[in-house]
Structure 1
């Protein structure tokens, strides 16, 4: 499968950390999967430790072959979505649980 080589910048909510640039098709694949997963579990959220495996199952083998490290890309895109206010950490959760933010739950959001 041929993909474009355009890159997007992924921010992080951690002050002082430099943004990371990844291929747009990878960002779009992962962000769409994360949002779909969190939408399906809107009430409970998802443990961050489980998110990568859920993303892998959702995007399928063909995309996984070209993606590389699902765990690394899931973390990078999750941090960007968090920095944009689309996803949020559930306060006081340990291990970390994430869910769609109230802002994202109110209506459609563009991930990029």
Structure 2
């Protein structure tokens, strides 16, 4: 049986994001939302925390999937970037 996929979105409407495994999407999304529920990390901090949380159980490139899902969550208005130096991420209030 064919694996379920999701067409992810990109915050830039002129760009098309990737179609990825729905199961991997949901796992990475859950982890990103859990990380952001505890603070406002920079991009580097977010990706490092994500990697540490799933590296032992995730099959695939954690950073690649993390970036793809992060962009999708931004495009859907679930998370946003805080325009600081360096930029930080947070859940949309």
Long gaps (5+) in structure 2:
none
- Describe how 1:19-34 pairs up with structure 2 within 5 A: 19-34=17-32
What is the aligned counterpart of 1:40 among 38, 41, 45? 38
What TM-score do you get using the length of structure 2 for normalisation?
0.91
Per-residue CA deviations over 1:56-104 (Å, capped at 9, x if unaligned) read 22224022xx1x211111111000000111000012x1222100011xx
| Runs of 4+ residues deviating >6 angstroms | none
What RMSD, in angstroms, separates the aligned Cα atoms of the two structures?
1.3
What TM-score do you get using the length of structure 1 for normalisation?
0.76
Q: Secondary structure of 1:46's match?
A: coil
Q: Is structure 2 residue 6 aligned with structure 1 residue 11?
A: no
Contact kept in structure 1, 2:55 and 2:62, CA below 8 Å? no
- Which structure has the larger Rg over C-alpha atoms? 1
